[in-house]
Structure 1
Amino acid sequence: MSVMYLLISISIAVAIGFFIAFVRAVRSGQYEDDYTPSVRMLFDDELKKPEPTTKNPNKQP
């Protein structure tokens, strides 16, 4: 029976730890922007810049 008390106390401590982490993430603004991630994939191709052409350093102009 003492093992049950130990497991319950450990699970409550873990749950409190996850709750504190969640509250800290919410207060720091982690979940503020819920619109941009859903639209970002639609405009992903426009954000990529074309790769610059590399010049041959050994070739004289």
Structure 2
Amino acid sequence: MTIIFLLIGISLLVALTFLGAFLWAVRSGQYEDTYTPAVRMLFEDADSDKNP
């Protein structure tokens, strides 16, 4: 029975860690530009003729 309580505690700790990392990423601006990555491949690079 104690192993169940231990596993629940560990899983809550892992879940809170991932929640904290997600909130940190949102607050630091990781998800602000959602348009540019989708169309980046459509723009022609200036270095595209130099790289074979």
- The two structures have a TM-score, normalised by structure 1, of 0.75
- Superposition RMSD in Å: 1.0
Identify the structure with bigger relative contact order (alpha carbons < 8 Å, sequence gap 6+).
Answer: 2
Identity fraction in percent: 59
Instruction: Show the counterpart of 1:47.
Output: 45
Larger Rg over CA atoms: 1
**Structure 1 runs (4+) greater than 3 angstroms displaced:** none
Q: Which runs of 5+ in 1 are unaligned?
A: 52-61
Whole-Å Cα distance in 2 between the matches of residues 7 and 31 of structure 1? 32
AA aligned opposite 1:42 = L
Unaligned runs of 5+ in 2: none
Q: What is the match of residue 9 of structure 2? A: 9
